[in-house]
Amino acid sequence: MDRKKELKQQYQEIEVIAGIYQIKNNTNGKVLVESTRNLKTINGVKFTLNNNTHFNKQLQAEWNEFGKDAFTIEVLEALKKDESDPYFNEKESLKNLEQKWLDQLQPFGERGYN
């Protein structure tokens, strides 16, 4: 029982890092840019793709067609939290960071899945 409490405590102490990631199709160069409040959830994204339940149907179709080895998933940027700002809004900052990467990579139409 003590071991269970210890593991639970360790889990609760893990820092949650928000950020932007991309899923890139290395066969055709298409990219999906997404934000997440917890970068550790990327494993869940892989799970949904492997189980044919991802929300982006075009990405899912190409994942099924080309296979998981044709894709790379990488973190583009972690959100830097401004602890000194009492008005820091993580959700808004994450949205702005995602927009920065959307503007930079332009993953629309033939170039991506957004």
Question: Residue 68: what pLDDT?
Answer: 95
Q: Could you tell me the domains of the chain?
A: 16-109 (3.40.1440.10)
Question: Residue 99: what pLDDT?
Answer: 98
Question: Rounded to an integer, what distance in angstroms lies between the CA atom of residue 29 and that of residue 76?
Answer: 16
25 pairs with which residues across the strands? 71
Residues 64/66/69/72 CA torsion (nearest 10 deg): -90
| pLDDT tens track, the chain, 114 positions | 588 888 777 767 777 899 999 999 999 999 999 999 999 999 999 999 999 999 999 999 999 999 999 999 999 999 998 778 888 899 999 999 999 999 999 999 999 999
Residue type, 3: R
Question: Residue 1: what pLDDT?
Answer: 58
pTM reported for the whole predicted model? 0.83
Question: Residue 72: what pLDDT?
Answer: 97
